[in-house]
Amino acid sequence: MIEPVRDPAVLEGYLRDASNLRGEAELLFRPRTTAEVAEVVAWCQARAMPLTVTARRTSTTGAPVPMGGALLSTEMLATIHALDDVDAGVLLGEYQAHVEAAGRFFPPDPTSRNECSVGGAIACNASGSRTFKYGPMRPWIESVEAVLADGTVVHADRSTPLPWPVPQWEEPHVKTAAGLYPAKNLLDLLIGSEGILGIITRARTRLVALPAQVLTLLAFLPTRESLLAFLPVARGMGPRCIESFDRHALDLIRGRVPDVPAADCALMIEIEHDGEPPLEPWFDALVAAGALVDDTVVATDDSGRAKLHVMRHALPATVNEIIARNGVQKVGTDFAVPADRLGELLALYDAVPMASVCFGHIGDSHLHLNLLPRDAAELARARELYFELAKAAVAMGGSVSGEHGIGRLKVKHLALMVPPGVIDGWRALKHQVDPAGILGRGVMFG
Ligand SMILES: Cc1cc2nc3c(=O)[nH]c(=O)nc-3n(C[C@H](O)[C@H](O)[C@H](O)COP(=O)(O)OP(=O)(O)OC[C@H]3O[C@@H](n4cnc5c(N)ncnc54)[C@H](O)[C@@H]3O)c2cc1C
């Protein structure tokens, strides 16, 4: 059995995630093999000791934050075995770079890909901007090796039967990462289960050929109306992503990108192509939409695209810095709604009486409204506002989480969306695999 770390100074570095929620733990295990992971789980089970899986802690929901007991960090499970065979603790961005150097492509791209782990992204069924074309992590994972909460080591693929009954329910017909998937096999159950059913140690992925070339456009639009009118046109032109930034987000990135014009919003669009970049049809469409075409930034190569991505990535990171500086927790929406309700949701976001920044995956009608409370009183108000917005998004047929999951901070929002009978079914399932409830205690459904 590996020795746990007990030094509070070391443990301190593992107690918070990007939501800024802080927890506590007595022990930290850093296993190097699946067998060691299984030993740690068995050891904790024998003592009914809570065990929280922690990877890179980029979660925004408190999911990897321990509430006592032991932590299991996946950081030492860090080998890329083959192009399509990777340990859970490997950084997603590092894995993607490795695959791309061989001319292959692993499409899921959470904005945090250079900070988050492959296993964390699987456990959250993470998405990203390219989800518009390629979907979330789920379809790109062929199988996993995992240690279930009862200590059993499994190899799960889509032919692996479910060991327990799993509630079947109708997820909202939008991008969603909220709650347990109505899985028909063990692999699909583990993907997106936020570390409450088992610990993923290794994964086999599905790869495709690296797209030959990518054109990236950063286009500025004068009004909300022009944005909403242009969106269906842009979706129909088959890009791989459509990201948006509201005017507060543009204020934050001014200075990082030269000459950001006075615009209501901006769209970042990526288009895969062979040969000449399809500039003409896109500029025609932008002109027709009334976009500020002279200000459009065009990137036709990797380095130009990388500069725009740095800007895109700077946004959530800057928001996280602001909330950390204010000493509060993040209150950021992750709702996705049907495309025909997006304008309604944006109108509600506009009316929120608190400083905010809105950006995200508008191609999927999935935006992050980040409220920026300055103190504890505003934080409490922000949470009330958030709850009202969550109700509205659910009433529109949306999801309370398009990609970040539920964690500890969004448990009551999940209950707005999922029938109580289904949540009871999940509790019963969790009880079967983990009667003492040690793994990820309190995550997802309390
Ligand atoms: C700046 C920023 C941008 C982000 N952008 C996106 C985005 O575009 N799309 C998106 O989907 N998310 C995004 N996120 C959220 C976050 O990056 C993802 O959810 C990511 O998948 C978490 O990975 P991690 O390695 O940090 O896991 P952690 O945060 O450490 O853990 C997340 C959850 O997964 C569980 N877990 C971790 N590893 C395993 C494992 N091996 N087995 C079982 N359970 C495990 C943990 O217990 C916890 O419940 C962003 C976060 C930040 C801070």
* Nearest-atom index, ligand 1, CA of 18: 53
Q: Compute the distance from residue 266 Cα to the ligand 1 centre, in Å.
A: 27
Locate 268 and state its tokens. Answer: 């970042």
The proportion of the chain whose per-residue pLDDT surpasses 70, expressed as a percent, equals 99
So what's the pLDDT on residue 346?
96
CATH of domain 211-315: 3.30.70.2190
* Nearest-atom index, ligand 1, CA of 113: 17
Q: What are phi and psi of 273, to 5 degrees?
A: -160, 165
Q: Compute the distance from residue 228 Cα to the ligand 1 centre, in Å.
A: 30
Query: What is the tens place of the pLDDT at every residue in 387-441?
Result: 999 999 999 999 999 999 999 999 999 999 999 999 999 999 999 999 999 999 9
Q: Compute the distance from residue 92 Cα to the ligand 1 centre, in Å.
A: 10
Chain centroid, CA 118 distance in Å? 12
Mutational pocket test of ligand 1: of 52, 53, 310, the residue with most ligand atoms within 8 Å of the beta carbon: 53
* β-strands 27-29, 70-73 pairing: parallel
* Nearest-atom index, ligand 1, CA of 109: 8
Q: Which residue puts its alpha carbon closest to atom 3 of ligand 1?
A: 112
Cβ–Cβ contacts within 10 Å for residue 98, how many? 15
So what's the pLDDT on residue 256?
67
Q: Compute the distance from residue 328 Cα to the ligand 1 centre, in Å.
A: 20
Residue labelled with tokens 């936020």: 194
So what's the pLDDT on residue 255?
64
Residue labelled with tokens 């990535």: 313
* Nearest-atom index, ligand 1, CA of 407: 49
SS (H, E, C) 416-437: HHCCHHHHHHHHHHHHHHCCCC
Distance CA 236, CA 271 (A): 12
Distance CA 335, CA 354 (A): 18
Contact 240, 271 (CB under 8 A): yes
Pocket of ligand 1 (CB under 6 A): 17-18, 53-60, 63-64, 74, 88, 110-112, 116-117, 119-121, 123-124, 126-128, 194-195, 199-200, 316-317, 320, 403-404, 440, 443
Q: Compute the distance from residue 120 Cα to the ligand 1 centre, in Å.
A: 5
Domain ranges of the chain: 211-315
So what's the pLDDT on residue 302?
84
Q: Compute the distance from residue 233 Cα to the ligand 1 centre, in Å.
A: 32
Per-residue model confidence as pLDDT tens for the chain (446 residues)? 899 999 999 999 999 998 889 999 999 999 999 999 999 999 999 999 999 999 999 999 999 999 999 999 999 999 999 999 999 999 999 999 999 999 999 999 998 999 999 999 999 999 999 999 999 999 999 999 999 999 999 999 999 999 999 999 999 999 999 999 999 999 999 999 999 999 999 999 999 999 999 999 999 999 999 999 999 999 999 999 999 999 999 998 886 666 788 899 999 999 999 999 999 999 999 999 999 999 999 999 888 888 888 878 788 878 888 888 898 877 899 999 999 999 999 999 999 999 999 999 999 999 999 999 999 999 999 999 999 999 999 999 999 999 999 999 999 999 999 999 999 999 999 999 999 999 999 999 88
Residue labelled with tokens 């990171």: 317
Query: What is the tens place of the pLDDT at every residue in 61-98?
Result: 999 999 999 999 999 999 999 999 999 999 999 999 99
Q: Which residue puts its alpha carbon closest to atom 46 of ligand 1?
A: 64
pTM: 0.95
Locate 50 and state its tokens. Answer: 């809570």
